[in-house]
Chains A and B, each alone.
Chain A
Amino acid sequence: MTQVNHLIEIRGLKKTYQSGDTTVDAIRQMDFFIDDEEFITIMGQSGSGKSTLLSIMGALNHPSQGQVLVDSLDLYALSTEQRADFRSEYIGFIFQSFQLIPYLTVLENVMLPMAVTGQKKKIKNQMALDVIDRVGLAAKAHRLPDQLSGGEQERVAIARAIVNKPPIILADEPTGNLDSQTAGEIMQLLQTLNRQGHTVIVVTHNPEVTQYATRTVRVQDGLCFV
């Protein structure tokens, strides 16, 4: 019998928070896997534990119990700095509300993940301009974030997430601040990236988003339903 190696494996995951005197079970028990080049939506209501799950998969949040294996790498057996290197190499984050650095131009924001990589300046510049072009913002590369529309800012956030060519893209409510037309365009862009080889994981509470996914994981009360 051959063993199948999944890209991401979640095993016996639990996460509890201490809020004052009470213990909150953000994730009670989760076991599932995600394969390479999948487009997954994680659906759930506010407070269901979906954002906590995303941060744990992104090597940002230590689980109380369980394991997260990415490429057979046990993320929380790594040191803090090794996890930072892992994020740099494997993960592209797209945050809620874009989260661009306001004092950096579009080009600089996109180049941000490359500030800690060893490539030459010329190569970095070219890579950044390429992804900016891919998200359709070539003409606005030298603008500041506040000179862009919401949809354009989201595109910059996507460009920043993919500039280092990470295999996994994690997006937290990427359409939360956009009108339905722009939201549709952004989801199509993520779908294109998925087709180009990125594994895309989107956390959302919007059922319309699930139509772009190859699979949906539902989260409720700290439990997941695959």
Chain B
Amino acid sequence: MKLHNISFGNIKRRKGKMLFLVLGLIIGISTVVTLLSITESMTVNIEERLNQFGANIVMVPRTQNLSLNYGGIDVGGVNYKVREINQDDLQNIYTIKNRKNLSIIAPKILGPVRVKGQDVLLMGVIFDQELALKTWWHKTEGNFPGQADQVMLGAQVASFLNLAAGDNIHLFETPFTVSTVLKPTGGPEDDAIISELGAAQKLLGKQGRLSMVEISAFCQGCPISELTLQIAEKFPDAKVTAMKQAVMSKMQSIEMFQSFSLGVSIIVILIGALLVLVTMMGSVNERTREIGIFRAIGFRRGHVMQIILLEAMLLGVVGGVLGFGTGNLIAYSIIPMVMKDSVFAGINMNLGIISIIMSVALSLLASLYPAFKASNMDPSEALRAL
């Protein structure tokens, strides 16, 4: 016989009341879990969209030139001094505070090459990074380049030079195989020959140099401008620009929803706590006689508190587990209704642990006063009720 046997026994005897108390906890916890799950799913959705949109930060060498470009029509510029980014310095990007938010880093080198008597733009890239970033790149036939002696052609270049997958070309007298031709994208890659970064650097005589770096980053807790500033600090000779994208405004909506969720969660949790408090007070008042007996047979005040708080803890665990399950179920059902094209982000086990801890803490806090009252009950007063 231990104190917990008394707690278990009382829970079993007062099933109805205890169910009511657990229900209060379930409502509180499931509301918080539902709102947090919706916010998380929205964030994941935005993150995926951001990745689909490509880079959201671009780093280029700082040049003192005047841009003579309007609406995509380039009429030339006056370069006073052209600098390039040192490829070895790129590692510094991983020393920024929010490095975990960097998703894709795609460095590239640009330069002209002559093919069949024509000047063509050569772009050297790291294919793994570039293809992850440019999800809208689709090949026609063949495969994306997997070796240093393979290149990929933009649709415009292939058509202009009359080249197709499997053809051989010479760039500065170095032989290359065309592994595939991209479908038209409407972007600058339509006019470029794309090769592996190292090979392009060698051809252009720019070993260890980079023309630009495209970065895909996502920062849930901080604005993208903050990330841009952090990168700019590490690369004083580069110009780091955040690309304004429509999707960014969605983040603001999420932030507003987060604030709303927090407000609703606090209210629901307070109501849940009140419910636990009232039920526990009722339970303690009903058990006056019982508590009197416990005290008379030698239970200390601490023992009585332990019995009540142990009950609260057990119910808190049950409320937390069921609340977490219910919250996920509700979130799974209503996310497609709340946000179009969004899907449930999945069960977050960390949130599960937090839910149980929160439920237990809530139940214990709300039961502190009833437990204190029970333990301070005058045994002679309690026995007068006998």
Contacts and interface: CB of A to CB of B under 8 A. Distances in A.
B386 A96 contact: yes
Which size bracket describes the interface of A in this complex?
Answer: 20 to 34
Contact of B380 (A61, A101, A128): A61
Interface in B199-222: none
Contacts of B131: none
A115 B2 CA distance: 5
Interface in B1-19: 1-3, 5-6, 9-10, 12-13
Contact of A116 (B5, B10, B298): B298
Contacts of B289: 99
Contacts, number: 82
Interface of A: 55, 58, 60-62, 80-81, 84-89, 91, 93, 95-97, 99, 101-104, 108, 111-116, 124, 128, 160, 164
A114 B1 CA distance: 7
A220 B142 CA distance: 112
B299 A84 contact: yes
B298 A113 contact: yes
Nearest to B8: A103
The 5 closest A-B pairs by CB, nearest first: A88-B298, A111-B1, A61-B380, A103-B13, A103-B9
B301 interface: yes
A123 to B, nearest CB: 12
Nearest to A114: B1
Nearest to A117: B298
Given A80-B301, A85-B300, A95-B386, A124 B293 contact: no
B296 interface: yes
Given A60-B379, A114-B1, A115-B6, A99 B298 contact: no
Given A55-B380, A84-B299, A96-B386, A108 B10 contact: no
B383 interface: yes
B10 A103 contact: yes
B244 interface: no
